[in-house]
Amino acid sequence: MKIREKNWLEWVVFGMALLLVVSTLGYLIYDAATLSKMPPAIQVQLGEPQPIMQHFIVPVSVTNQGDRTAEGVQIEVTLESTSKEKETAQFEIAFLPRRAKREGWVTFETDPRSAKLKARALGYEKP
C-alpha cells in the first residue's frame, strides 16, 4: 500500500486548526488560573421611561461585575411619587453569568418621568 504525501494546502489547514485549538486551550487554562473567588456584584441601571398605551415602561440593565455566576436574580424597581403611594415592580433574571449584562423592562401606571425611581437587586441564588 502506497502512502500518499500531504500537499501544502492540507498542511496549512492542519497548522491553522492546531493553532486555533492550542490558543483556545491556553485561554481557558489562563482564565481558570486567574479566576478570583469574588461573589456576584450586581449593578442595576435604569433607562429613560417611555409611555406605552396606558402604562409607562422603564428599561433596566443588570450587570454582574463579580467573578461568580448568579441564578434567579430578583430585581425590584420602586417609584416614589408625590401624588400616590409607592409603586413597585419586580422581575427575575434566571441566569446572570460573571461579567455579563442582561436587560429587562418594568411597567408602572404612574408617570415615572416626574417621580423618583430606585432600583436594587433583592437577592440571588448560587448555581
Q: May I ask the CATH class of domain 42-125? A: mainly beta
**Does residue 84 have a pLDDT over 70?**
no
Burial of 46 (0-12, 13-18, 19+ CB in 10 A): middle
Average pLDDT for the chain: 90
Query: What is the rounded average pLDDT of the residues 28-40?
Result: 86
Residues of the chain with CATH 2.60.40.1620: 42-125
pTM for the predicted model, two decimal places: 0.73
Query: What is the rounded average pLDDT of the residues 94-98?
Result: 93
Query: What is the rounded average pLDDT of the residues 28-50?
Result: 89
- Say what the pLDDT of residue 24 is: 97
Residues 6 or more apart from 99 whose CB is under 8 A from it? 64, 65, 66, 67
